[in-house]
C-alpha cells in the first residue's frame, strides 16, 4: 500500500487539509504539479497521506502502488473489483463493498518500494 487519501469536496479541501494536519501533527504541503493534492507530511509514518480535492462526496480511499499497473489492475479485477475511471497512469477501482481504491505506478522512493513490495504468484 502506498497511502491513504482524504477525498474532500474542492471547496472544503483547504480547511480539511488544515484540520488533518493539526489533528495529526503533520505539515500540510501542496504537491507540485498535482494541485488537487495537499500532502500531510509526517501524518502516517511509512505511508503517504494526502487531502485530495474532488468533485464528489467526501470519503477515504487507499492507493496501491505497483511496478506493473496493468497486472495489478487485472489481479484486483479478478478478485472482484470493478473499473471506475482512469487518470493518467492511475486506475480507480471499486472493491466489493463499494469502497474506492486506486492502482498507481511507483511514487515512493525506489529503495523503499523494493524493501516493502509484495509479489503475487
Q: Give pLDDT tens digits for 14-38.
A: 999 999 999 899 999 999 999 999 9
- What does the domain layout of the chain look like in residue ranges? 3-116
**Looking at the predicted structure, is the pLDDT value of residue 1 above 80?**
no
* Rounded percentage of the chain residues whose pLDDT exceeds 70: 99
Q: Give pLDDT tens digits for 83-103.
A: 999 999 999 999 988 889 999
Confidence band (pLDDT; 50, 70, 90) for 105? Answer: very high
* Rounded percentage of the chain residues whose pLDDT exceeds 90: 74
The pLDDT mean for the chain works out to 92
Contacts of 69 (CB under 8 A, 6+ apart): 89, 91, 103, 104, 105
Query: CATH classification of 3-116 is 3.10.180.10, yes or no?
Result: yes
3-class secondary structure, 43? coil
Grid-cell match 504537491, residue found? 31
Q: How far apart are CA 78 and CA 74, in angstroms?
A: 6
Instruction: Give the residue-averaged pLDDT of 103-114.
Output: 90
Greatest Cα pair distance in the chain: 44
Residue 5's pLDDT is 93
Amino acid at each position: 500500500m502506498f497511502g491513504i487519501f482524504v477525498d474532500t469536496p474542492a471547496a472544503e479541501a483547504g480547511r480539511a487539509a488544515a484540520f488533518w494536519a493539526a489533528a495529526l501533527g503533520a505539515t500540510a504541503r501542496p504537491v507540485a504539479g498535482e494541485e488537487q493534492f495537499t500532502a500531510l507530511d509526517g501524518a502516517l509514518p511509512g505511508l503517504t497521506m494526502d487531502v485530495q480535492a474532488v468533485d464528489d462526496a467526501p470519503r477515504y480511499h487507499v492507493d496501491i502502488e505497483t511496478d506493473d499497473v496493468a497486472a495489478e489492475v487485472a489481479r484486483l479485477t479478478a478478485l472482484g473489483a470493478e473499473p471506475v475511471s482512469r487518470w493518467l497512469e492511475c486506475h480507480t477501482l471499486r472493491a466489493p463493498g463499494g469502497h474506492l481504491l486506486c492502482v498507481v505506478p511507483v511514487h515512493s522512493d525506489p529503495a523503499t518500494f523494493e524493501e516493502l513490495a509484495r509479489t503475487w504468484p
